[in-house]
Amino acid sequence: MKGHAATASTNAAVGGASAADRPWDRFVGRVGAYVALTKPRVIELLLVATIPTMILAADGFPSFWLVLATLIGGYASAGSSGVFNCYIDRDIDSQMKRTKRRPLATGEISGRAALIFGSILGVFSLAWFWFVVNPLSSILTAGAILLYVVGYSLILKRRTSQNIVWGGAAGCMPVLIGWAAVTNKVEWPAILLFLVIFFWTPPHYWPLSIKFRGDYAAAGVPMLPVVASDRTVATQMIGYTIAMVAATIVLWPVAGLSPVYGVSAILLGAWFTWSCIQLLRRAGHPERGKLDAMRVFHGSITYLSALFVMIAVDVILPW
């Protein structure tokens, strides 16, 4: 009986090992690693803003194929930026709990392979926008990649506590690209949408930086929560939030939207501003409870998603 048990155990171990080493499993794992380099969760939020922007620019539903083409190009360009960012930050990613499992930090994918992959995605996105959508969208895409890879990743991230403010401009580009894809122009509504996301970025990202400030400090990245008090961070978040809400309200008449959007923008803005004020109150009076910065982080995602959904709804539905 013991011999049979040992044989069965050995066969199971061999079978398990062979299953793990199957070519298909290795292929799927490698594809998953490359997809992870593109930071799909970040891209998802960026693309959420693109479709409502295109609906606003077209004053209705744009061509399905134009939307699809813009999303394909947008994913490729944002993915290219993400890959280059992972390559540049591979040294600090390995020191941070939140990022230490990224494929370049673990060595699952080599630096050379990542550079080739990122370059292919970037060149594809520029050519795709130029020939399938229009040249202006391709030019704006090139600007977005340069802003994120050179402006943020190479220059700002390790040198200034305001890195995410100016580096975040790259994350605002999808609205300009989406607008240009429809109109072949950049007009005031698109610029205001750019400003909405620009001012939204600090109160969105700084709460995450508060939670992981130890990681950033250990890696030598001077995010504002690393070098400033929670009160200072929360105060600056409120300032950016007020500017963001102002931009959403100015968009109302400039884009010719209805009171449905206007009231929604005011209510959503009041709600998110209050969440930032609550963060400031807890930062100044710890006895009032846990700082709970991640609640503001998740709330910022809900806020931006709801705002852009209301833009689309306002345009589509006859009020």
- The domain spanning residue 75 has which CATH number? 1.10.357.140
Please check whether residues 61 and 132 belong to one and the same domain: yes
Please check whether residues 254 and 172 belong to one and the same domain: no
Percent of the chain with pLDDT over 90: 75
| 319: confidence class by pLDDT, cuts 50, 70, 90 | low
| 287: confidence class by pLDDT, cuts 50, 70, 90 | low
Q: Tens of pLDDT along 252-277?
A: 999 999 999 999 999 999 999 999 99
Sole residue written with tokens 């931006």: 304
Please check whether residues 196 and 166 belong to one and the same domain: no
**Is residue 297 domain-resident?**
yes
**Is residue 226 domain-resident?**
yes
Q: Tens of pLDDT along 186-232?
A: 999 999 999 999 999 999 999 999 999 999 998 899 999 999 999 99
In the predicted model, what is the mean pLDDT of residues 151-164?
A: 91
Burial of 151 (0-12, 13-18, 19+ CB in 10 A): middle
Classified as helix, coil or strand, 290 is coil
Percent of the chain with pLDDT over 70: 92
In the predicted model, what is the mean pLDDT of residues 41-57?
A: 86
* Residue 252 and residue 221 in contact, taking contact as beta carbons nearer than 8 Å: no
Helices 40-58 and 293-316, packing angle to 10 deg: 30
* Residue 86 and residue 114 in contact, taking contact as beta carbons nearer than 8 Å: yes
Please check whether residues 161 and 274 belong to one and the same domain: no
Which residues have a Cβ under 8 Å from the Cβ of 16 and sit 6 or more positions away?
Answer: none
**Is residue 1 domain-resident?**
no
Residue 156 to residue 234: CA distance in whole angstroms: 21
Please check whether residues 199 and 293 belong to one and the same domain: yes
Q: Which domain holds residue 140?
A: 31-183
Half-sphere exposure of residue 151, counting CA atoms within 13 Å on the CB side? 17
Please check whether residues 68 and 136 belong to one and the same domain: yes
Please check whether residues 108 and 166 belong to one and the same domain: yes
The listed range with the strongest mean pLDDT (129-138, 152-161, 217-226) is: 129-138
Say how far residue 289 (Cα) sits from the centre of its chain.
30
* Residue 51 and residue 181 in contact, taking contact as beta carbons nearer than 8 Å: no
Phi, psi of 238 (to 5 degrees): -65, -40
Whole-number Cα distances in Å, 45 to 19, 42, 67: 36, 6, 16
Q: What is the pLDDT of residue 288?
A: 61
Phi, psi of 63 (to 5 degrees): -55, 135
Residue 301 to residue 311: CA distance in whole angstroms: 16
Q: How many domains does the chain have?
A: 2
Q: What is the pLDDT of residue 79?
A: 94
Q: Tens of pLDDT along 177-188?
A: 999 999 999 999
Give which of 107, 95, 120, 94 is closest to 38, Cα–Cα: 120
Residue 125 to residue 109: CA distance in whole angstroms: 22
Please check whether residues 137 and 216 belong to one and the same domain: no
